[in-house]
Amino acid sequence: MNGLLTDDERLIVGAARRLGLILSSDWPDVAAHLLAQGADGKGVSELAGLPRAASPWLVDQLVPNVLAELGIQEMPVKEAGDLVARFVGQVARVRPEGDEFAAIRFLARLAPDLDYPGGFIGDAYYASEWLDCACHGNSPERDAAIALESALRTTDPLDIDAGLLQAVTTTWF
């Protein structure tokens, strides 16, 4: 049963899992938040009951069952990346005191481990080359980076519970 989870919550959990952004030690906390929101199933309950220090081998075996119980489908890397980019832009928008290119920098760090996918992650990787070079202060590349960060920060917000959001992004920022 899917409980009271929003489609956006299911999607972000699936996208974060696809991109390897949820550590094994974080999955019990993610499952606990899913359970608290009304998700149910044997896998969700079992994973939520594990301590953070549980063996990654044990945790990683339970995750596919949890995703299946919640109706979370495997998605292509580009689709997952674009969804995570939308979410990262949302977070950057509500944390304006940080780096003016926080979303680009975060997404660019993902590119090498994901074999430089297209979409927002690929765009961010390319744009990140121009952020810290004084010689490109007024260049078309810098202007494109500014436009990309702006686009990321103005996407439609995702409907995600604050507790689940914190559990999923523990190691992101």
The predicted-structure confidence for 41-77, as pLDDT tens digits, reads as follows: 999 999 999 999 999 999 999 999 999 999 999 999 9
Q: Which two tokens stand for residue 62?
A: 């339970």
- Choose among 99, 74, 70: nearest CA to 3: 70
Secondary structure letter of residue 113 according to DSSP: G
pLDDT at 96: 62
Give the span between the Cα atoms of 51 and 47, in whole angstroms: 9
pTM for this entry: 0.87
Does 8 score more than 60 pLDDT? Answer: yes
Give the span between the Cα atoms of 95 and 86, in whole angstroms: 15
